[in-house]
Amino acid sequence: MRRGVGDKLSDRALVLFATFWAGMLAGVSFLATPVKFQAASLSLPVALDVGRVTFWTFSRVEWGLAAVLVATSLFPVGSRLTKTCVVIVAAIVTAQALWLLPALNLRVEAVIAGSPYPPSYHHMLYAVAETAKILLLCLVATIALYRPGRIVRPAGE
């Protein structure tokens, strides 16, 4: 089956946006955030407040990236697996923004006020969701790049 120009552009866009997002996610969630808590001069309330602002901002960026990835995976064609992965990523972003981040923000506010809540599962669930997102984004990029008959070649080849 012959591929159209739209298919090739869609594949390239999927690879570009999925890997760009995965890289941002790795930088924010798996590098900058843990390192911030290693700084001896940064108090826990300040580190948590910086994290809250960082994740709130990054969540807004992820809404945009999710919208682009959903649109790119649906047009002109995408494999069922690609579409499923993209929908799951979008669902994770939605759950994080509407449920997990607000719950974690309440916990941060309690720590800043000097009355921390007892431990909960929210932080671990957020970390699991971040891990799932990065794995799914890598899978989306890999499928778009290496699917049989759909290998994306550099421009000019």
- What are the chain's domains? 5-146 (1.20.120)
90: its two tokens: 């979008």
Average pLDDT, the chain: 88
Q: Tell whether the model's pLDDT for residue 3 goes beyond 80.
A: no
H or E element at residue 144 = helix 122-146
pLDDT of residue 10: 78
Note whether 18 and 70 are within 8 A (CB). no
Q: Helix, strand or coil for residue 115?
A: coil
Question: What percent of the chain is predicted at pLDDT more than 90?
Answer: 69
Note whether 28 and 36 are within 8 A (CB). no
Question: Which alpha helices (H) appear in 26-121, and where do they start and end?
Answer: 33-36, 44-74, 80-95, 101-112
Note whether 31 and 58 are within 8 A (CB). no
Q: Residues for the chain: how many in total?
A: 157
Note whether 96 and 126 are within 8 A (CB). yes
Q: Which residue has the higher pLDDT, 98 or 153?
A: 98
The predicted-structure confidence for 39-86, as pLDDT tens digits, reads as follows 999 999 999 999 999 999 999 999 999 999 998 888 656 678 888 999
Q: Tell whether the model's pLDDT for residue 152 goes beyond 60.
A: no
pLDDT (mean) for 118-133: 96
Angle at 57 between CA 123 and CA 10, to 5 degrees: 100
Q: Which residue, chain included where needed, has tokens 């778009």? A: 144
